[in-house]
Amino acid sequence: MNALHRLIKTLHWLEDAVLVVIFISLMGLAFAQIGMRNFFNGGWLWADTALRVLVLWIAMWGASVAARHGHHIRIELAPHYLPKSWQRFNTILCDLACALISSVVAYYSTVFVIDEYTNGGIAFASIPVWVCELIIPVSLIILAFRFSAQTLVTIFHTEEILE
């Protein structure tokens, strides 16, 4: 249990670190590009595309981290009116459905990216498109995994595993 706990903690730390690194690259590159364009009349051709890809990356990675903290936006109009005993069942149902849908999207985006790998083009500089797209299946797999784990945790009352 203890080793598992430590492994999860390390993974979480790594995940946060990746988010911070993507953000800093995004801000740094955006700032540098403004400087290049306005003061050196230049600006890198590849930087505009790279920036937009980084926005995609921060969005997808941020979304998968958000699931860890239950930060995903929900409407949640009805649960307030449910009796306590039903609320747990409701949580399980919603998380399970969310995990299912995420898995379907994850599966099809994986297939798509593999397809792009075999016959895709170049996004910018010498970076192929499939590398830029890779974040989509990766994040969705994490999301699918998180909501599946969350479902199991609620069913078996083992909340402490996920902190």
Partner 1 sequence: MILIAAAALVFLAFFGMPLYAVFAGAALLGYTVADVNFAAITVEIYRMVDTPLLLALPMFTFSGYLLSESRASHRLVELTQAMVGSVRGGLAVVAFVSCALFTAFTGACGVTIVALGALLLPAMLQQRYPEKFTLGLITTSGSLGLLLPPSLPLILYGIISQQMGVGEPFTLTQLFMAGLLPALLMIVVLSAWSLFTLRHEPLPTQPFSFVRLRKAIWDAKWELPMPIVVLACIYGGWLAVSEVAALVAFYLLIVEVFIYREVSVRTLPKVIKESMTMVGGLLLILALSMAFTNTLIDAEVPAHLFAWIQKYVHDRWTFLLLLNIFLLILGSIVEIFPALVIVVPLILPIAVSFGVHPVHLGIIFLANMQIGYFMPPVGMSLFIASYRFKKPILLLFKSTLPFMLVLLLAVLIITYVPWLSLWML
Q: What is the DSSP letter of 80?
A: G
Q: Which residues pair with 124 in a beta bridge?
A: 127
In the complex with partner 1, which residue's Cβ is closer, 2 or 85?
85
Q: Is 3 in the site for partner 1 (CB under 8 A)?
A: no
Q: Is 45 in the site for partner 1 (CB under 8 A)?
A: no
DSSP string, 88-124: HHHHHHHHHHHHHHHHHHHHHHHHHHHHHHHH--EEE
The crossing angle, in degrees rounded to 10, of helices 135-156 and 45-68 is 10
Q: Of 36, 48, 92, 148, which one interacts with partner 1 (CB under 8 A)?
A: 48
Structure-derived torsion over alpha carbons of residues 85, 86, 89, 91, reported in degrees to the nearest 10: -100
In the complex with partner 1, which residue's Cβ is closer, 3 or 32?
32
Q: Identify residues 91-150 at the interface with partner 1 (CB under 8 A).
A: 91, 93-95, 97-98, 101-102, 104-105, 108-109, 111-113, 115, 132-133, 136-137, 147
Q: Is 31 in the site for partner 1 (CB under 8 A)?
A: yes
Instruction: State which amino acid sits at residue 104.
Output: V
Distance, CA of 14 to CA of 139 (rounded, Å): 14
| Shortest Å, Cβ 30 to partner 1 | 4
Q: Is 88 in the site for partner 1 (CB under 8 A)?
A: no
134: phi then psi, degrees, rounded to nearest 5? -55, -35
| Shortest Å, Cβ 43 to partner 1 | 11
The residue count for binding partner 1 (CB under 8 A) is 62
In the complex with partner 1, which residue's Cβ is closer, 4 or 20?
20
Determine the longest span between alpha carbons in the chain, in angstroms.
65
Distance, CA of 130 to CA of 69 (rounded, Å): 29
Site residues for partner 1 per CB under 8 A: 16-17, 19-20, 23-24, 26-27, 30-31, 34, 38, 48-49, 51-53, 55-56, 58-67, 69, 71-80, 90-91, 93-95, 97-98, 101-102, 104-105, 108-109, 111-113, 115, 132-133, 136-137, 147
